[in-house]
Structure 1
Amino acid sequence: MRALIIYCHPRDTSFTAAIRDRVMAQLDKAGIEHRMIDLYAEGFNPVMSAQEHTDYLTPGINRAALESHVELLEWCDALIFVYPTWWYGLPAMLKGWLDRVLLPGIAFHMPQAEGETIRPGLTHITRLGVFTTCGASWWLTRYIGAPGRRTLIRGVRLLCAQGCLTAFAAHYLMDSSSDASRARHMAKVDKEMAKFLRGLPVPAEVKA
C-alpha cells in the first residue's frame, strides 16, 4: 500500500497537526510507504488560473501546472485528508486543491455522448481516509449537511475503486475541547486507522 496524505492547516502547532502526526505514526507502525503534500507549507495556490481553465478539458496539457501533485495522486492507492472544517466545509486551500488537481483524464473521465455522466478515474485508490476537526457540534454539522464530509466521503469516493474502504473521524466542538476530549479523539483516530489498514500484511517486526 502507498498512502498519500493531503494536509491542510496554517499552523504546525495545531491539534490538526497532532492528528496528522498520529495518522503518520500509524502508517509507520504498519510499515506503509507514505508521502505528504502540506498545502500551506508549500504555499499552494488554490486559485485556478484563466489558462488552467482554458486547458481544463484537455488531458495531458491540463496537468502541466501541477505535475508533481498529479504524479503523487497516480502513485498512491490510499488517499488521506487531514484538515480543519471551516464553515461546515473544506478550507479554501483544500477545495482549490481538488479543483486544480482532480482533473478530467486523471480523477475522472468526461462524458462521450449526450445523456452520459462522468466515469471514475481514480480506480487505483482502494482506501480513503478523512480526519478533521469541527468548531460546531455534531448535530449542527449534520443539520447543515456536513458538506465537507460529503464532498470527500461521497464525491471523491465515487471516483475511486468500487468498494473503496473509508475511514472518518471528526472532533466536534473543537473550540470548547478539553485534554480529555482530545485524548478520546486520538483514540478514535487510532481506531479508524486500524479499520483503514485492515486486511494488510503485518510487518515482519510486528510478527516477531
Structure 2
Amino acid sequence: MKTVIVYNHPYDKSFCHAILESAKNGALQAGYQVDIIDLDRDGFNPVMTGKDLLAFRNHKAVDEQAIAYINRIKEADHLVLIFPIWWELMPAMTKGFIDKVIFPGSTYTYTKSGYGMNTMLTNLKSTTIITTMNTPKLLYKFIFGDAIKKALIRGTLKKSGLKKVKWISFNMVKASSEQSRKKWLHQVEKKFSNKK
C-alpha cells in the first residue's frame, strides 16, 4: 500500500512542515510506503504554457515533471495534499500542480456526453487535504466563501471523479498555543497510523 503526499511550503520550519512529518510518520506506522512530492524542493514550474494548454486540448500531457508526478500518483492508494492558505486560496505551486497534473487523458476522461468525468486514478481509495490558515473557520466559510471546498474539493477533485475526499483545516495557526499545535500534530499522526 502506498501513500503519496504532495507538499507545498517554502519554509522547512513551518507548521505545514510539522504536519508533513506527522502524516509521514503515521503512514509509516500503518505499514504504508510513503512517497513525498515536495513541490518547492523540486522547483516545480506551476505556469501553464501555450504547449501545456494545447496538450490539455489534445488530452496528452507534455510537461515532463507533471507526467512523472502523474505516474507516481497512479501508484497511490492514498493521496494527501498539504499546503498553507494564503489570501484565502492555495499557493501558486499547488494551483499549478492541479492545472498540470489533474489532466485529461492522464488522470481523468470525459463521459460520452462530455459533461461528466471519470477518474483514471483507479488505485486511489481516498484523498485528504490538510491546510493551515490564520483566518477563523467561520469567517473563512461564511465571509470568504469556503474557496478550498468549492474550487478544489467540489470543482476539481470530486468533479474529476474522486470519491472519498476529506479536508482537515487548521485555523488561527499563528495565534495558537504550542499545546494546541502539539495536539493537532498528534491528531494528524493518529489519523494516518489508523488508515485502512
- Greater CA deviation, 62-71 or 132-141? 62-71
Larger Rg: 1
Structure 1: segments with no counterpart, 5+ residues: 201-208
Q: Match for residue 140 of structure 1?
A: 139
Kindly indicate whether the alpha-carbon contact (under 8 Å) linking 2:30 and 2:193 is maintained by their aligned counterparts in 1.
no
One-letter amino acid matched to 2:30: A
1:82-101, aligned counterparts within 5 Å? 82-101=82-101
Structure 1 SS opposite 2:192? helix
In structure 2, what residue type is equivalent to 1:159?
Answer: S
- RMSD of aligned alpha carbons: 2.0
Match of 2:55 in 1: 55
- CA shift, 1:90, in A, is 1.1
Provide the residue aligned with 2:177 in structure 1: 178
1:25 CA displacement: 0.3
Moved more, 70-79 or 13-22: 70-79
Q: Give, in whole Å, the separation in 2 of the partners of 1:78 and 1:138.
A: 26
Structure 1 segments, 4+ long, off by >6 Å, are none
The number of residue pairs the alignment matches comes to 193
Q: Check 1:161–1:135 CA distance in 2 against 1; reply closer, same or farther (3 A cut).
A: closer
In the other structure, the counterpart of 1:42 is: 42
Q: Specify which structure has the bigger relative contact order, considering alpha-carbon pairs within 8 angstroms and separated by 6 or more residues.
A: 2
Query: Are the aligned partners of 1:89 and 1:148 in contact in 2 as well (CA < 8 Å)?
Result: yes
Instruction: Give the superposition deviation at 1:70.
Output: 1.4
Fraction of identical pairs, as percent:
26
For residue 192 of structure 1, what is the aligned residue in structure 2?
A: 191
Unaligned 5+ runs, structure 2? none
Residue 190 of structure 1 aligns to which amino acid in structure 2? E
**Partner of 1:24 in structure 2?**
24
Q: Which amino acid aligns with 1:122?
A: L
Deviations 1:165-194 (A, max 9, x none): x44322211121221221221233234335
TM-score (norm 1): 0.83
Whole-angstrom CA distance in 2 between matches of 1:160 and 1:34:
23
Q: In structure 2, do the counterparts of structure 1 residues 138 and 113 end up closer, same or farther at CA, with 3 Å as the change threshold?
A: closer
